[in-house]
Amino acid sequence: MAKFFNISGACSPNRHYMVNTASKINEIKAMIDAGQYFTMNRARQYGKTTILRTLANDLKHDYETVSLDFQRMSSLSFESEPSFVASFSEELLDFVESFPDGIAEKLTAFVHKSARINSLQALFKVLTLWCGKSQKRIILIIDEVDTAANNQVFLDFLSQLRAAYLDRDVTPAFHSVILAGVYDIRNMKLKIRSDEEHRRNSPWNIAAKFQVDMSFSAMEIAGMLEEYEADHHTGMDIREISSLIYTYTSGYPYLVSSLCKNMDEEVLKTESIPDKNSPWTKNGFLTALKLLLNDNNTLFQSLTGKLNDFPELRTVLYQLLFTGRSMPYVPQNPSIEIASMFGFIKNINGTVAISNRIFESVLYNLFISEEFPASKMYDAGLRERNQFITHGHLNVRKILEKFVETFDYLYGDEDETFLEDAGRRYFMLFLRPIINGIGNSYVEAETRSHERMDLVIDYQGEQSIIEMKVWRGNAYHERDEEQLSAYLDYYHLKRGYMLSFNFNKKKEIGVKEIVLGDKLLIEAVV
């Protein structure tokens, strides 16, 4: 059977095109060799299960590896301590090939609830006995552990693991324990001891910090594409395509695989791609990107669902996307912690940034769509949209001219606070119906600052850069022009655009051209 790109469940190197994760596996194995207990918490569809399966296979020569998945245990399993002990024992019996003498019988008694006591204490006495009799050191791996993260029985289970870890110099215990899920259970609290001093200790505060980078680098993506190219001979520029994939995904595993799958299977079904090799070009990539952004997949559903579950998360992301203000990355801030845990944001030199361009586009589209019904700017863009496309090309100058006219008519009398908070958002509302379904836009996070933000528009394979800024005087303005010029060099463009929100009452609204070296800057002032 021919290999394919997989976005459903764990990947297998025999069936799927995969990134070589050997370096990541080696880092994790070093933690295991050192006897560490730790949590592998990453956002949904970040390749955790694939890594764990590969890891378990690599470890089996040196260790007795026990891999469990809490999703296989029903909610009834966590309703009481006896139920959990019975279900956990049943999972061990199902997935461990052999036990030392007497261990299987004791576990079976828990399953049938014929043991004298079905308690966690009794279970861990059997596990201790197993660890002592086993010829190999035992590694316990539990995937989807946060299935039971809010359950008291599970918290008590963590307490038992913690106690075993602390006593392992004198009592046999698991050599290493890995708990994988989305939530960082190190932060979960419970009453471990009755005295007030220890009332809120974490049951997992013995866990080592997991710092392995689970994202894919451009080089790792290129290695996967090399394998694909050896099979299909598309003639793709592997360096260019891997760089594009990384630039838009920041190596988020599901997004990487989705874009590749679209280029491999879906792009040829569109009208814009003429032959079988064209999907693996920049135009093919942009078509694959558009298909992904228009797909309401499970990852996007999960992300947007979190905005309803955590209103403070919605507030942080909205401000980050639309105000252009920088936000310090403070992990102790609950909103920052939640946003990071769910994969929305990352830390760039101590500043919060959206994790990748695709998430930015998804969030922009969501937030803007919520304002469609009541937005006069969106309605204006919708009415005028046909005049901005000439022979398949986007006329950005004309968009700016019309936006200035419309914005001044609707909001020209508003105060400075309103314009600073809402001006850039209104431009995005105006732009959305013009490029909708064909192009997409995103804010370049690496250049976002307190005073400016660069909007990148992708339309039919062409990119346009619009610097949106709040007017802070001539000195700042000249600096911004130079920064935009340098940014155009990065994109190999000779033309760029500026949208200035000027609060000076003597300002001249309109659009003008500025020649800066070999660059043409078109500036709109409102």
Evaluate whether residue 157 is within a structural domain.
yes
pLDDT at 205: 86
**Does any domain span residue 439?**
yes
- How confident is the model at residue 444, as a pLDDT? 66
152 within a domain of the structure (yes/no): yes
In a domain, 11, yes or no: no
**What are φ and ψ of residue 468, in 5° steps?**
-105, 125
> Is 13 inside any structural domain?
no
89 and 177 fall within a common domain: yes
- Give the residue ranges of the chain where pLDDT is below 50: 189-200, 447-451
Does one domain contain both 157 and 239?
no
> By residue range, what is the domain housing residue 139?
22-198
359 and 482 fall within a common domain: yes
**pTM for this predicted structure:** 0.88
Q: Is residue 214 part of a domain?
A: no
Residue partners of 405: CB distance under 8 A and separation at least 6: none
Give residue for tokens 């021919």: 2
Residues 363 and 323: their CA atoms lie apart, in Å, by: 14
In a domain, 219, yes or no: no
Question: Tokens in use for 32?
Answer: 């295991």
Helix pair angle (416-435, 311-322), 10° resolution: 90
142: CATH: 3.40.50.300
DSSP 237-257: -HHHHHHHHHHHHTT-HHHHH
Residues 157 and 111 in one domain: yes
DSSP, res 207:
P
Q: Are residues 401 and 272 in the same domain?
A: no
Q: What is the pLDDT of residue 196?
A: 42
Same domain, yes or no: 396 and 274: no
Q: Are residues 325 and 355 in the same domain?
A: yes
Same domain, 277 and 338: no
Q: How many residues does this entry show for the chain?
A: 526
Q: Are residues 43 and 186 in the same domain?
A: yes
Tell whether 169 and 248 lie within a shared domain: no
- Confirm if 125 and 149 have CB atoms less than 8 A apart: no
Asked if residue 328 and residue 247 are part of one domain, the reply reads no
Q: What total of structural domains would you count in the chain?
A: 3
